[in-house]
Structure 1
């Protein structure tokens, strides 16, 4: 099926999604590590709109944005399907994937970055989104049933990356008492290949978040000063 290259940063959970999907499909690929502090010409050329990872290069053609890449992988390599076959279930998986990226992930990040009076409200908002996700996994081993699928890959950063985010952001979101179903799912996921086989060193993720928090807080402070 041609040459496959992945432009990625190991500390990024959206990049990990693509690695997991490729490994589940048995697709051989070349990992091309990218520095977000010194973006390569290839990255800027391949994703001129957002200028960020991950980017998949298939026979030289670039595909950007992790959810788009996941669907491309699923449609190109038919073995071990990621998305459900039933049209309704496929639509439902896409809906919750968007919800995770636009509400859960953004909410968790904002809660970590927030300081002072706004932190409690940001944490509460993040908890509300996680509670909705927790209901979706109730009574199931994985979001799609008994096998890892699309939504598990999308939310797969929770067991590892969220724990680091909590540490760096000085907060506690994910507990067995609050979200028993997500907690059980997280334990299952972390014991499963390829997830457990493609995790970056924790220290590198800690530094990754610290740099991200510093940049986000600096930008927020600059915007507040302008207003």
Structure 2
């Protein structure tokens, strides 16, 4: 079997990108991280990002053997399903899994959004 190519289009300040990297590390998946210039300090977003996420033009993007996936929660679910041999990322019981998804959604909407909005204002003004 040939080696799989896993690339994450990344921004180290993004909690959403960090979520994807944590999932990949938990699963023991080797990957290459490509830092994106979201704030335009070094020329702006790469052509690869714009091609891989033409709708939102944002990170994270996971490229698995050249196929792009967008949105951190979708990417993490994909990672969990694609590399099932190691420990699952979510609980096995449906109720516990639903509770975990509730808290993931809460953190996305309340905590991460607040923190990332703060960073955006700080770094772009």
TM-score by length of 2: 0.84
List aligned pairs for 1:92-103, cutoff 5 A.
92-103=99-110
Tell me the equivalent position of 1:15: 17
- Kindly indicate which of the two structures has a greater share of residues assigned to helix: 1
Segments of structure 2 that go 5 or more residues without pairing to the other structure are none
Q: Distance in 1 between matches of 2:69 and 2:10?
A: 12
Computed over aligned residues only, the root mean square deviation of the Cα atoms, in angstroms, reads 1.9
- Indicate the residue corresponding to 1:211 in structure 2: 123
Contact 2:15 2:112 (C-alpha < 8 Å) held by counterparts: no
Structure 1 residue 19: Cα displacement: 1.2
> Which ranges of structure 1 fall in alignment gaps of 5 or more residues?
113-164, 166-207, 215-227
Matched, 1:81 2:88: yes
**Residue 50 (structure 2) pairs with residue 48 (structure 1):** no
Which residue of 2 is the match for residue 131 of structure 1? Answer: none
Q: Is the 8 A contact 2:6 2:64 kept in 1?
A: yes
Per the TM alignment, residue 2 of structure 1 is displaced from its structure 2 partner at its CA by 2.1
User: In structure 1, the residue corresponding to 2:59 is in which secondary structure?
Assistant: coil
- Could you tell me how far apart the structure 1 residues matched to 2:25 and 2:115 are? 27
Structure-2 residue corresponding to 1:72: 78
Give the corresponding residue for 2:36. Answer: 34
Question: Which residue number corresponds to residue 8 of structure 2?
Answer: 6
Does the residue aligned with 2:29 lie in a helix, a strand or coil?
coil
What CA deviation, in whole Å up to 9, does each residue of 1:146-170 have, x standing for no partner?
Answer: xxxxxxxxxxxxxxxxxxx7xxxxx
Q: Which has the larger radius of gyration?
A: 1
Alignment partners' CA distance in 1, 2:116 and 2:67: 31
> Could you say which residue in structure 2 is the equivalent of 1:159?
none
Quote how far apart the aligned CAs of 1:9 are: 1.2
For residues 92 and 99 of structure 2, the distance between their equivalents in structure 1, rounded to whole angstroms, comes to 12
Higher RCO (C-alpha 8 Å, min separation 6): 2
Higher strand share: 2
Q: How many residues align?
A: 118
Residues in 1 aligned to 2:64 and 2:21: alpha-carbon distance in whole angstroms: 14
